[in-house]
Structure 1
Amino acid sequence: MNTQQRLFSRYISELRPGTLQWIGLRPAHKTDMRLTDHVNALKGLGLEGDHRCSKTPGSARQVTLISTEYIQQIAHFSGIPNIKPATLRRNLVVSGINLNAMRYQQFTIGDALFEATALCHPCARIERALGRGAVAAMLGHGGLCCKILISGTIKIGDAVIPVMPHNL
């Protein structure tokens, strides 16, 4: 466990569970997202039906997630009200949990176990979708990249539950 993992894991037990609010799949690169109310999370691959699932098995970026709270911050900083989750091209939208505190930590959604691996930074294409200044508005609010450690079905309304590390 690295220093940051150790630091963040000290507080994992203090996080309240969140809720999965939205699921979006990207069938192919640069195509419209397909919304669904449930999906299979596949260990080491990604979400069934998402193009990342077949790209690089074992990648630390199998799934991307963002919070409704971050979307509200992006809307505030960009001056664009009512940003739709599909515009931001993240797979999962959660609410009620501090994503920054989830970095390097494991959590469950439904039957699946995830591990947050890194911040999910915005790409320049977001400026085409939201306009000039969108990247600046998203900095620090782009969400997290995750990998799937245990396969399972996830569905809208499932709790997002932090998992205490065993080696504390």
Structure 2
Amino acid sequence: MSELREMIERVAQPGRLVWIGLRPGRRGAIRMVDAVEIGADGLAGDHGRAGKRAVTPFQDEHLAAVGSFLGRAPLDPALLRRNLVVAGINLSAFRGRCLRIGTVELCVTGVCAPCSRMEEALGPGGYAALRGHGGWCAEVRHPGRIALGDPVQAA
């Protein structure tokens, strides 16, 4: 394996799962939970999409950055309508790769770009503030159960 490849695959430390949110309906309120089953189609009780967008992880450290771009404190993750918030590990490093959270294995398929609804949720400039910080889309490779505090690491 090349030195560059080794560096790309190496992470400094495992992360941890710090927030789980379920979206029971398309524009319904987010329900925070401590644990959830994840099947092939995504989180149990969530209206999400099957396949490459089954799960939408978000980087905890970006909540402060996006809040700063808006002149505010770190954002409440429920405003962003993503499923999972992960801290302590760079999710960008997993694009095209798989990660494990609890007993679940997810493959990060690509960027979860912000939608126009972010202007409604965050106010003027919300869409622009999230560009490059909108989170990720992932498909479920191995279903299972996740809970707050679970480690997040390379699969």
User: Normalized against structure 2, the TM-score is what?
Assistant: 0.92
- Structure 1 counterpart of 2:9: 12
Return structure 1 stretches of 4+ with deviation > 6 angstroms.
none
Contact 1:8 1:105 in 2 (8 A): no
Matched residues in 2 for 1:71 and 1:122: separation?
14
Question: SS at the partner of 2:29?
Answer: coil
**Alignment coverage as a number of residue pairs:** 152
Which of 44, 47, 54 aligns to 1:48? It is 44
Q: Distance in 2 between matches of 1:111 and 1:47?
A: 13
What whole-Å deviation, never above 9, does each CA across 1:102-135 have from its counterpart, x for those lacking one?
Answer: 1111010001110000101110101111111111
2:37, 2:18 → 1: CA distance? 16
Match of 1:122 in 2: 114
Which of residues 102, 108, 113 in structure 1 aligns to 2:94?
Answer: 102
The runs of 5 or more residues in structure 2 that have no matched partner are none
Please give the residue correspondences for 1:2-151 in structure 2 after superposition, counting only pairs within 5 Å: 11-43=8-40, 45-52=41-48, 55=49, 57=50, 59-151=51-143
**Unaligned 5+ runs, structure 1:** 1-6, 164-168
* Percent pairwise identity: 41
Native 8 Å contact 1:9 1:105 kept in 2 = no
8 Å CA contact retained: 1:38, 1:153: yes
Q: CA RMSD in A?
A: 1.5
User: Which stretch shifts more, 22-31 or 66-75?
Assistant: 66-75
